[in-house]
Amino acid sequence: MLLRPSSQSGDATSNGEIRRITLGVQEIRYTLVRRKRKTIGMKIDGDGLTVVAPPRESLRWIEGILRERAAWVLKKLNEWERKKPAQLEWKEGAVFPLLGRPHQLTAALTGGVRLCPLAPTDAGQLALPFAPLMSEAEIEQAVMAWYRREALICFEERTAHYAKKLNLPLPRLKLSTAKTQWGSCNARRIVHLNWRLIQLPIHLIDYVVVHELAHLIEMNHSPAFWKTVASVYPSYVAARKELKKLA
């Protein structure tokens, strides 16, 4: 990824100042946030590098620290880059995962397009109500509606299944668009599940469902919480590790 060098002035945003710096031979962008504190802090996530620094520290000092820690910064940025899901394309021939299996957007003989399973063992086609000629924006809208519909059907079924196993009343379910969370729940017994889960294999969906339902019993990550998870999903440790690689 090529970005402008750090000698150029930063761009102000509501969350901080966007700046550029060269670390080794790689140019990166980072967000500089000024806060009342004594030390410098760094956070690397799906949004890139965020540096939190004391208000009066000079930019030269801050970027000196970044260069000292360049190896760690670049390693973590590269790890996050590998975690990013493949960019979806809104055109014929694009591949869209559903429950861990790829489906390809292809033209239909009767007009419009269909999402067809690529695996030879998957029978049938998933038809979408497309017009014969569609813009990328229209295809994106239709595919996302398909994803959300499939997600709600699947998540409601899996939630009902595991709520019964845990002797819980069926909670209210909502789809989430969070960037860094697969699921969450609150004291009002509302479970939020990220719509992107529908792209993953069913065993990972089940783990997230069980995890959030268990929080309705234990609102923490205590041994009692994990015991509750294990009571209906014994292989949770393996699923948790697999999911962390995708987060």
Per run of 10 residues, the mean pLDDT along the chain (length 247 residues) is 31 68 89 90 85 92 93 86 66 81 69 57 46 72 87 95 96 89 90 94 96 94 95 95 81
pLDDT of the residue at 169: 95
Cα–Cα dist 69/56, whole Å: 21
HSE (CB half, 13 Å, CA atoms) of 38? Answer: 0
pLDDT of the residue at 144: 87
pLDDT of the residue at 84: 60
> Nearest to residue 104, comparing CAs of 126, 80, 121, 134?
126
Q: Which pTM was predicted?
A: 0.62
Q: What angle do CA 182, 143, 242 make, to 5 degrees?
A: 30
**Helix, coil or strand: residue 170:** coil
pLDDT of the residue at 238: 94
Cα–Cα dist 197/210, whole Å: 13
Q: Which residue stretches of 58-185 are H helix?
A: 59-68, 70-83, 136-165
The answer for residues whose C-beta is within 8 angstroms of residue 53's C-beta and 6 or more apart is: 32, 33, 34, 35, 37, 40, 41, 62
